[in-house]
Structure formats: C-alpha cells, structure tokens
Amino acid sequence: MTYYYFSEGNCPFGGVQVGSPVSVTNGMVPNSNPQQFNNAGSYSWAASYSGDANNNPKLGSCESLTVVKAVPSLNISLAANDPPVGYAVLAEASLARLSPTAGGDVTYEYFSGNACQGPATFVSNATVANGATPHSIGMGFGVAGSYSWNAVYNGDSNNKGAISSCEPFTIAPATVTAITNLVSPITVGGSVTDSVSLVGATPNAGGTVTYYYFSGGTCAGTATKVNKVNVSETVRNLIVAVTVPNSKPQQFNNTGSYSWDASYSGDANNAPATSQCEKLTVKQASPTITLSLTPTEIMKGQTVYGSATLGSSFHAGGTVSLYYFYDNLCKANPVSVGDATVSNSVVSNSIGGIPPYVGSYYWDASYSGDANNSPTTSQCEFVPVNSPGASITTVLSPFPAFTFSPVTDSATLSGTTPSAGGSVTYEFFSGGYCASSAIVTPTTINNLIVTVTDGVVPKSDSHVFTTPGSYSWYAFYSGDSNNNAATSPCEPLTVNLPMTVTVVTPTGLTLSCGHASVVVGSAATCKAKVVGSGSVPTGSVAWSTNSTGTLSSASCTLSIHKTYSTCSVKFTPVAAGYSIIVTASYGGDSNNPPSAGTYSLTVTMKATKTTVSCSPTSVHAGSSKAVTCKAKVKGYGDLDGESVTLTESGTGFVTFVTATCTLVKGNCSVTLVGTQAGSVTVTASYGGDPNNQPSHGTANLTVKNAT
C-alpha cells in the first residue's frame, strides 16, 4: 500500500509519496509513516493498493486535511534588576510552540505603572528569523518610578500573533555621594563657609542641601543648622551640571573642636545622601600687644608709666603685666611693676613704676591670654634714668630716611656748666626701641666718639642704611668733673625704599598652569614668575584656589634667576565641570613690594577605558555550561557602585543571566549561555558619571551547534 498527500483538497494528479510503501499481510494494512506539515493550509490524502495474484489494484478514496496556524506563546524578560535613573534597560522575548521557520516581527513597548495599562511607549521592533527573536534596544529612563514592559508578536502565514505577559520593573533613584570642602582651622571670631558636590546625581537634580555643624569632632550629638539651599541645574559650555550653593558664613566665638556635614534631601530621581563628617578646629586668636612708655627719659626717683594696647584679639580677658629689665633683650631677671585687668580686649589702666637706680632700663608688657586668645609679649623698649642735672637730646636728619642716603644725628646738652667737656657717643640699633634681639650690643657709628667743648656737641658722622626697616638711635654723654653723665631718650628712625623705585618699577607676578584645562584627578603644574623692582625678589609665594582640589604645598620658596625669581606647585582637582581660579600671592621682601596673579583652569572629565573578556570563548547552543564575561573600567576614582551594561550582536545569540553588573574597584562580571549557533560580539558599556566619560569594550564568542 502506498500513501500520498496533495497540496490541494481534492487529491489531484501529482501527489507526494509519504515514506516507503507498506506491505499488506493477510489483509492487514500498516499505518503510513508520520508526515510533518510546516505550512498552514488545505491538503488531501489518498492510498493506492498495488494488488496481488488474487486481488486487483485499487485507489482509495480522497480524504481532506486542514493544517491550522500554530498558536505560539510569548515570554519576556528584562536584563536589569531595578536599575537606577539614567541606565539602559533591555528586554528579551522568546517564542514557543511555533513553526520552525517562523518569521514576522516582535514589537517591544513599555508603560508607566506596573500593570501594562494606559498608553504604550514604543521601544523597538525585532525581526523573527526561524523562530529566534532578537532583544530590544536599550531604553534609558530619566525618571524614577514604576514601569512595565510587554512584547507583541504579529504572527505570519503559519503562526498566529501573541502578546507576552506584563513584566513590571522599577527605576530606582540615582545613588548620590555628597562631598564637602571645609577649610580648617580657623581663628576664633572668624567665619567658615562650606561647599558640597553631589557626585552621581542626575544633571537635572533638585531638592535641597542643609548644612549642619556639631560640637566635637565626630558629627555626633545635637546638630546646629546653618542654612538650607536649593539644588538646581546649570548649563555651562553646553554641559548640564548640578549646582549647589555654598552655605552662609558661620561665625565661631569659642575655641575648640567642631565638625560639619551636609545633608541632601534627594528628589524623585535621586536618593538622599549625607556627606562625610569634616572636622573643624577653631584655634585661639594670636593677639599683638603694643607698649607705650611715658616719659621716655626720667631723672632718678621719677615714675615711668606704661600703657598697653591689644590688637588682633577676640573679646580678650585676662591681665597685662608690666616688667623692667637690665638687659636690652628683656630676657633676664624681670622685675614686676604691676598688673592691669583686660576686659573685652581693653586694658583697664596704665601701670606706673619707679626705677631704683641711675642707668638704662628695658621694659615690656606681657598679656596672660585666655580661652580664646594666646599669650603674647610686647616689644622691648628703652628708657634711660639719669642723675639730676645734665640731660641730652638728639635730632636725626633726614627723618624719615631712605636707603643709600646718608643719615646724621646731632645732640644738645642742657643743665650742664658753660664749660662742660667730656664726650658723646652716638649709637644705633636694629628695631625701633633701642633694644633688639637682632643686635646684642649697640653699634657705634664708625667707632666715633665726639668731644664736647664748652657744652657744644658735634654732629655724628653720616651713616648709610642699605636695607629698609625700623632702626633707633641714642646718644650717651660721659659727663666730666662738674657734670653728671646722661643718656638721651630713644629716637626711632624709619628707613624706606627710594620713592622712585616704588613708583616707577613695581614688582610684577605672572602665573601660568601650562594649559587652559586639566583632567580631573591629574596634576597641573602652576608656576609663578616674580620680576623685581630694581633687585631680584626673594622670599616665598602663597597659593590658594576658589574651589575643591589639592595643592602640593600652600607656599613655595622663590628660586633666583638673573633678573627674576620663580617657584611652582602642583594643583590636582577632584571634581570635573568647574572653572577654578588659582591665585599666587607674593608677600614682598625688603626691596620689593607684594604682588599677586591668578590663572583660570577648566576641569574636564576623565576619558575612561572599558575592556571585557569572556571565558570560555566558545560554547555549544543549549548547553548548561555558562560563560563568564568580566568587565574592567579604568577612570577617575574607584567607580564603586557604578554599573556596566552588557549587550550582544552577531549571527549567534546568547542569553545573559543578568545583563548588568555593579563595579567594585573598577571590576564586575556577568554570566551567559549560548542559545543560537553563530559568532557573537559581547559589548560592555559604561555610562559615565560627572567625573568620567562613557566608554565601551568588546569581546568575541563563538556559539557552536547544539550537540
């Protein structure tokens, strides 16, 4: 018996034989071989009996057969598990119970809410080939919330359409890290302003940042609110960035240890965050004390009064004590004269004392300090105590003086006999009080002692000062058989630079950091060049910036060249997307006035490098053996907590167990299995962050035929 089927419903001529003929035994006819139909439609079927010696051949009746379309099922899965705002989501559809050569299209779409209701948003179409369905394109979501996804298969000539089940998912708020930048220490009575950067926030982040400070250095206990600021977006150089205003200035009126943090409220697309705890030290003020003595020359038995004034203090209390000494450094064997109370930085009264002997006395005032102000001592000042009778006064010329110009002193005796003789010695000191730690003993002008004749004192020889600054002079009369010795009051002298030098050729400072931009995390070398006003500058240059970053040193010492001096530091920025002003300030020296310069640096994002490697590099389709693909991202920072998305393309097909992974110290991995034979390119994509540019890398796989 031979079975035939026909592509039409009435068994026309030209049927297709089904398998081999079957043998009829004792009138029993076996069934035909199975016949698969891969296309829907109308068919017919007949059987032909060959006959034998006793039976004639016979063609059986025609039977109709209808092959209906397959009713496939459609499943959908998502390649991300609650990804954060801004990251791509992929959907993967799989068809079952369909014809082997199934074609048509699958449409991917998503909905707001978790029930696939309301208007659908089109994502992409995927062409079905032999029953295999490519995944969707990646869809980024800029708003956190609940979403759902489905897929619609439109069917083909052999397969009916199908709709997948609804797959809900959640877009989580972005993880934000708040980084503050507080300057510490400060001086009591001063104010501090904090700034904060929101790393990882979406470019359009909103919400608020609240600044707090605490007593103690650990941000524990009761927080004191400084102020709350609104977070907004700013467009600079076509780049959208998050802007967080600085805190208002906060004054601290007591010394001690404090701490500071900033709390970000978050918004619909960004999670709340609290910054690291920053320590703040409020140190004592470093006051100065100025002593004024009256009179500046006395006779034995008279009283010297000392009045002290505090400067650069903060609501100072405590006491001021007045002392005199017999050495011109005010160091050995102080004699206490008396004390005065200090209240709110004002010294209550002057202090009087009577030196016991004729001679030279040196005085200073000492401030005790308090909780907010450090102790300090005034300059050492000279007051001569003469015997009754002779006295001597001096007059310097010119006054004030200039460097490289001669200065002379003249003395006048009073209270002496008309025929007074003896000698006068002119002496000067470094510093303005005839008492200095810089000179142990007075300097005699050219070793000249002038002779007094009939009470007349000749002028001193001239002396030229080559260095500007404060100096002081006095004259000592030796006395004679009829007149007592006497010492003049201390006469201060200021020696200035010549006016022509200051006005015509001021000091100039130029600053360069090499380039107009610097990559975040990379050091820029900033060099200051100082040109002097007549002489090569010496000293140091102080450095500062208006934003976050690290200077290799707060100051540098100038290196002297032929006509100018230079020094440099390195500046390393810690956040991209900002313009930073670097300032170099030269403090001047004895021959050159201060000057300053600035340089603007734009901080750019770091170019990242993403690589991916897969092991093993080949796998059989349908095998349970998994392939591990490891992604590595190099950029600024450790990138912890950031994500890498993996996708595939090529003639083969794989299924990811999970298509995203979270970086730990720049590394993460995913696993996949082969589902369709062919070559596959695996792409690892890093989306970037405010400091790092996006990048991607690829690896090749071979999916072999199923075994």
Q: Are 139 and 157 in contact (CB under 8 A)?
A: no
| 90 pLDDT higher than 60 | yes
pLDDT of residue 445: 52
Three-class HEC string of 283-351: ECECCEEEEEEECCCEECCCCEEEEEEEECCCCCCEEEEEEEECCCCCCCCCEEEEEEEEECCEECCCE
Q: Percent of the chain, pLDDT > 70? A: 95
Give residue-wise pLDDT tens across range 602-658.
888 888 999 999 999 998 887 778 899 999 999 998 888 898 988 888 888 888 878
pLDDT band at 501 (very low <50, low <70, confident <90, very high): very low
Per-residue confidence (pLDDT) for residue 201, from 0 to 100: 83
pLDDT at 649: 84
Residue 507, pLDDT score: 60
What CA–CA distance (Å, rounded) separates 521 from 607? 11
- Helix (H), strand (E), coil (C) string for 376-405: EECCCEEEEEECCCCEEEEEEECCCEECCC
52-66, 367-381, 436-450 — most confident range: 367-381
Q: What is the pLDDT of residue 437?
A: 44
Average pLDDT over residues 371-395: 90
pLDDT digits (tens, 9 = 90+) for 541-550: 999 988 778 8
Please count the other Cβ atoms lying within 10 Å of the Cβ belonging to residue 10.
9
Q: Are 196 and 262 in contact (CB under 8 A)?
A: yes
Determine contact, residues 159/73, Cβ cutoff 8 Å. no
Mean pLDDT, the chain, rounded, equals 87
Q: What mean pLDDT do residues 203-224 have?
A: 92
SS3 504: helix
- State the pLDDT at residue 100: 85
Is residue 72 over pLDDT 80? yes
Spell out the residues 6+ positions from residue 374 whose beta carbon is closer than 8 angstroms to its own: 284, 285, 286, 287
Residue of 85 and 486 predicted with greater confidence: 486
Distance from C-alpha of 153 to C-alpha of 43, rounded to nearest angstrom: 27
| pLDDT at residue 65 greater than cutoff 60 | yes
C-beta separation of 457 from 412 below 8 A: yes
Banded model confidence at residue 514, pLDDT cuts 50, 70, 90: confident
Share of the chain above pLDDT 90, in %: 44
Residue 443: per-residue pLDDT: 52
For residues 642 and 85, give the distance between their C-alpha atoms in angstroms, rounded to a whole number.
12
Cα–Cα nearest to 692, from 643, 647, 648, 659:
643
- Degrees (nearest 5) of the Cα angle 579, 192, 242? 35
Q: How confident is the model at residue 115 (pLDDT cuts 50, 70, 90)?
A: very high
Residue 591: left if φ>0, alpha if ψ -120 to 50, beta else—which one?
alpha
Band (303; pLDDT cuts 50, 70, 90):
very high
Q: What are phi and psi of 349, to 5 degrees?
A: -160, 165
Strand duo 335-343 + 318-325: pairing? antiparallel
C-alpha span between 533 and 501 (Å, rounded): 6
Range with the lowest mean pLDDT among 149-153, 243-247, 389-393? 389-393
pLDDT bracket for residue 235 (50, 70, 90):
low
pLDDT computed for residue 385 by the predictor: 92
Give pLDDT, residue 504: 31
- Which pLDDT belongs to residue 317? 96
Give me the mean pLDDT over the 274-294 stretch. Answer: 94
- pLDDT grade, residue 441 (50/70/90)? very low
Burial of 631 (0-12, 13-18, 19+ CB in 10 A): buried
Q: What is the pLDDT, as a whole number, of residue 503? A: 32
Give the Å distances, CA to CA, from 79 to 67, 76, 137, 661, 668.
Answer: 37, 10, 11, 10, 16
Q: Determine if the pTM surpasses 0.85.
A: no
